[in-house]
Amino acid sequence: PLPLHCAAIDLGATSGRVMVGTWHGNELSTTEVHRFPNALRSVNGHDYWDVAGLWNEVQTGLALAAASLPSGASLASVGVDTWGVDHVLVDDAGRMVFPTHAYRDARTQPGLQALLDSPADLGRIYAATGIPAVFYNSSLQLAETVASCPAIKKLATRCLFLPDYFNYLLSGRMAHGLSIASTTQLLDVGSNDWSKTALKHFGVPPRWLGSPIKSGTKLGRVRGMPDLGKTTVVAVPGHDTTCAYDAMPAAPDGDDIFLSSGTWSLVGFESTQPLLGEEALATRVANDRTGRGEYRPLVNVIGLWLLEGTLKAFDSRPANDRSWKALLKNAAALPAPARLLDVTDPAFANPPSMKAAIDAQLRRHRTKPPQELVEYVRLICDSLGQGHADVIRRFEHLANRTFKRILMVGGGSKNALLCQATANASGLPVLSFNLEGSAVGNFANQLIALKAVKNLATFRAALATQLKPKIYQPR
């Protein structure tokens, strides 16, 4: 068969990219055609995303994607995945009627505290949605929006989550994807529809949300871009973490635990059932959903956000891959830190200074903070490794399973110190795949929708023969 070309739009909180994937019948090749930084912008005490700026970059990337193909070839399809929980409130004409806040905005803190202070509500919402109380939940964000701006109930007719919104800009069709819907704390954990209990509790108007669609749904042709006139917009799992999990070259026996490592560390596995109950809630297990509707119990560990934040306090940020590697190597040669960080500390969510937040936690435990960047790097990687291991042990207990390998994708899978620390703390081998996980999972779902690949198991099997992981044995 002729090679089949697709474009993946993958938007992360700190960077976005547009990639071209070419399927050769049993092998995927990928090229990054456009990469751009992303950052929240603060004004007058609140944090926002530059949605129009992102759309500009997406268009630039798609034009480059089309231009990168051999002459005569065209993009069969395009799919969008983004970070979770954030959204755009629009009217019937698709016009934005409220600014898009960034999920780290502190506006949800009072609502979060109220939920945490009411065990009855917390338990009820967890039983209904399978999603724990986390500061970024769309539920808390929307509750704050409605409370601070009651007129919004009239002005907005739809709440489109970010992948839904970009799908709309591309195709003209407004639809809610199932996987991104499951990150909101508003989806019913027992069905593929919204939870009446959660909508009522958070005061979210039900008319804002249409029935969620599964991945693979064709939304229409790309509008307004002549080079992409024949390209179909395919609803892939809109949540980047779902796409990253779909890209895991997992063994069919289900003994693998997944770690998508980037700004966040997403530790979880696949299951036909959610993990519910008090212990799961106390572990903050999020029962996110795949694009097909199955469960992906997962715990969100603070991730490389710790390191990204700490770097801001030092002038000597490594400038390239080589200096990064040298820094990690020097950090690995240091003696083990006297005390690791408790990475579940809520103070790390969005502090004015990450270094100061780390120092404060250590001082609370009568431990002297590090001095040099290299010491912080060692402390952060070892602490994250321990954080990953703690979650894996909790999962083994809660789900009564034994995991044999950790599959790791994302930017953090290139960090040898972090991989080794995770292997050491968990006692499990880490298989690190140098893979843009979200983009690859995005392609997988397009290829399945186009019927070029039978199903996800077939795709994973093909990927597993194609990739050679770097293996870190526990020491």
Residues tagged active-site: 240
CB of 180 to ligand LRH, least distance (A): 9
Which of 10, 240, 256, 436 contacts ligand LRH by CB under 6 A? 240
Of 83 and 403, CB closest to ligand LRH? 83
Of 216 and 238, CB closest to ligand LRH? 238
- Burial (0-12, 13-18, 19+ Cβ within 10 Å), 181: buried
CB of 84 to ligand LRH, least distance (A): 3
Near ligand LRH in 159-188, by CB under 6 A: 183
CB of 68 to ligand LRH, least distance (A): 26
Site string for ligand LRH, 65-84 (x = CB under 6 A): ------------------xx
Return the residue nearest ligand LRH (CB atom).
84
- Binding span for ligand LRH by CB under 6 A among 19-27, 239-247, 377-385, 441-449: 239-247
Q: Minimal CA–CA distance to 176: which of 165, 188, 186, 191? A: 165
Which of 78, 85, 89, 131 contacts ligand LRH by CB under 6 A? 85
Sign (positive or negative) of CA dihedral 370, 372, 378, 384: positive
Residue 378, SS3 per DSSP = helix
Angle of the 373-399 helix axis to the 354-364 helix axis, nearest 10: 70
- Tell me the site size for ligand LRH, rule CB under 6 A: 14
**How many other C-beta atoms lie within 10 A of the C-beta of residue 227?**
15
Residue 97, SS3 per DSSP = coil
313, 353 contact by CB (below 8 A): yes
9, 58 contact by CB (below 8 A): yes
Which of 241, 361, 426, 432 contacts ligand LRH by CB under 6 A? 241
- Binding span for ligand LRH by CB under 6 A among 60-68, 200-208, 236-244, 398-406: 236-244
Residues 6+ apart with CB under 8 A from 60: 18, 34
Angle of the 138-148 helix axis to the 109-117 helix axis, nearest 10: 110
Near ligand LRH in 11-40, by CB under 6 A: 12-13
Of 100 and 231, CB closest to ligand LRH? 100
CB of 266 to ligand LRH, least distance (A): 5
Near ligand LRH in 87-106, by CB under 6 A: 103
- Please report, in angstroms and rounded to a whole number, the separation of the first and last CA atoms in the chain: 46
Q: Is 412 in the site for ligand LRH (CB under 6 A)?
A: no
Near ligand LRH in 276-335, by CB under 6 A: 300
Of 108 and 232, CB closest to ligand LRH? 108
Q: Is 264 in the site for ligand LRH (CB under 6 A)?
A: yes
CB of 161 to ligand LRH, least distance (A): 11
CA 95 to centroid of chain Cα atoms: 26
Residue 382, SS3 per DSSP = helix
Residue 36, SS3 per DSSP = strand
Of 83 and 459, CB closest to ligand LRH? 83
Of 161 and 472, CB closest to ligand LRH? 161
105, 46 contact by CB (below 8 A): yes
Q: Is 269 in the site for ligand LRH (CB under 6 A)?
A: no
Of 81 and 390, CB closest to ligand LRH? 81
98, 149 contact by CB (below 8 A): yes
Q: How far apart are CA 223 and CA 172, in angstroms?
A: 7
Name the H helices within 152-209.
Answer: 152-155, 162-171, 178-181, 196-202
Which of 266, 281, 301, 439 contacts ligand LRH by CB under 6 A? 266
Of 195 and 241, CB closest to ligand LRH? 241
Q: How far apart are CA 7 and CA 230, in angstroms?
A: 13
Residue listed under structure tokens 């749904």: 217
Residue 52, SS3 per DSSP = helix
CB of 131 to ligand LRH, least distance (A): 10
CB of 308 to ligand LRH, least distance (A): 13
Residue 35, SS3 per DSSP = strand
List of residues contacting ligand LRH (CB under 6 A): 12-13, 83-85, 103, 136, 183, 239-241, 264, 266, 300
